[in-house]
Amino acid sequence: MDAVDVIRTKRDGNVLSDAAIDWVIDAYTKGAVAEEQMSALLMAIFFNGMTPQELNRWTAAMIASGEQMSFADIGKPTTDKHSTGGVGDKITLPLAHTVAACGAAVPQLSGRGLGHTGGTLDKLESIPGWRASISNAEMRAQLRDVGAVVCAAGAGLAPADRKLYALRDVTATIESIPLIASSIMSKKIAEGTSALVLDVKVGVGAFMKDVDRARDLARTMVGLGSAHGVNTVALLTAMDTPLGLTAGNALEVTESVEVLAGGGPADVVELTIALAREMLEACGLGAGKDPADAIADGSAMDCWNAMISAQGGDPRAPLPVAPHQHDVTASSSGRVVRMDALAVGVAAWRLGAGRARKEDPVSLGAGVQMHAKPGDVVSAGQPLFTLHADDEARFERALEVLSDAVDIAAADAPWSKPDLVIERVGA
C-alpha cells in the first residue's frame, strides 16, 4: 500500500477498499504514515464523506488498533451512555448509579472538559481522594461488587483515535460526521459494553447546532453500533438552555447528589430517568426495577457512595468552594424567556472551571450558579447568577459574555416549556 494512492482515491471521490483502510489506520498509528499525509486524507474525507461500508471498516480498524475489553463474565448485563457534550451536563453522575442500582453494570469511561463543555472526570476529581485512573482488574471487580465505574479510558483503548482526534483538531476537520461518529464509537465499542445509549445534544450550547445534523450524527452512530453488535439507541436532547442550575465542577457534583437524594432540578431528574429507562431497555432489564424507584428508595445513592469509596474518595467530605463570589442581577422585572447555554458555558470556562488546552489545570470550585431559568418570573435586582472564582480578576471577562445571555419579557408574556427530549433514533 502507498499513502499517496489512498489519499488520491478518496480525493477523487472513490471508495476506499477494506484493505486500504486497514493499512492506513495501522500504518498511521505506528508512525509509518506521515501527519501531513493523514491530514490530506482527513480533508478528503471531510469533503467527500464515507459510505456506510467505508465507515464501518474505518471504525473497525480504529478498534483493532488497541485492546478490546469484554465484561461477558461479570454476571450482569452491561450498558453505557455517551453524551456529545453540553453546559451543566452532569447527567452521568446520577445516571450511572441509578442504572446500576437497577441491576445493570455500567462501565462509564469518561473524559475531561475542553472549552465551554465540562468533563465528567474534572467534576468527580473535586471529591477529595477520588481517582479517575484504575486498572482493568479493578474495573471488573468494581462492576461485580458496585455495579458502576466512572473512570478514564486506558491508553491502550483505540490509540488510533487519540492520534486522529489531535490531528482533526489542528486541521479543521472536527465537524465531519463520519470522523465524529467513528471517534466516539470506536472507543465505546472497544470498551466492551453490550448496549449503548447516546445523548446527542442540540442547540446553541452544543456541538451540533441544528436538529438535522444532530439526527444525521445520531443515525450514523446508531448504525455503527448495530454493525458491531452493540445494541445502540440515541436521544436528541435540547441544549439551548443549560441543564440544571449549575455549571462548574464541584457545583455540579453537589447538584448531582441532590438528584440522587430525591431532589435537584426538574430537567436533570427528567433526563436522568429518560436515559436510565433507555439504558435498561437496551440491555434487557426494561421490565425490572424502575429507575425512579431506585432514586426514591436510596439504592442509587448507595451505589454512588460505594463507587466514590471504591475509587479512593470520601463521599462525605466537603467539596471545594471558590473564595470569591459575584452576583449578576436582573435588570428588569418579568418572565425569563431565554438563557443562552453557550454564554453560561463560556462564563464558567472563563471563571476557571474549564480549560483551553488538554494540559491546562481547572479550578474545582469555579463556575456559574443559576437562580432562575426560562419560564421563571423575576424582579428587578433579583440575582440571576452567582459567579464563583478563585481569582476576582476572572469576573470581568465572565460578565462580558453574560451581558446578553438572558431575555426578560413581561410577566404575563406567553411562554411554553420546550421539550427536553426532542427525538429518539433507534436501529
Q: Which residues are designated catalytic?
A: 82, 161, 168, 183, 187
β-bridge partners, 339:
406
* Cell 433507555 belongs to residue: 278
Rg of the chain (C-alpha set): 22
In whole angstroms, what is the distance from residue 237 CA to residue 208 CA? Answer: 11
β-bridge partners, 254:
none
- 35, 44, 124, 195 from 231: Cα distances, Å: 35, 31, 28, 5
Residue type, 375: G
Could you give the angle at the alpha carbon of 145 between the alpha carbons of 140 and 148, nearest 5°?
70
Do 249 and 364 form a contact (C-beta atoms < 8 A)?
yes
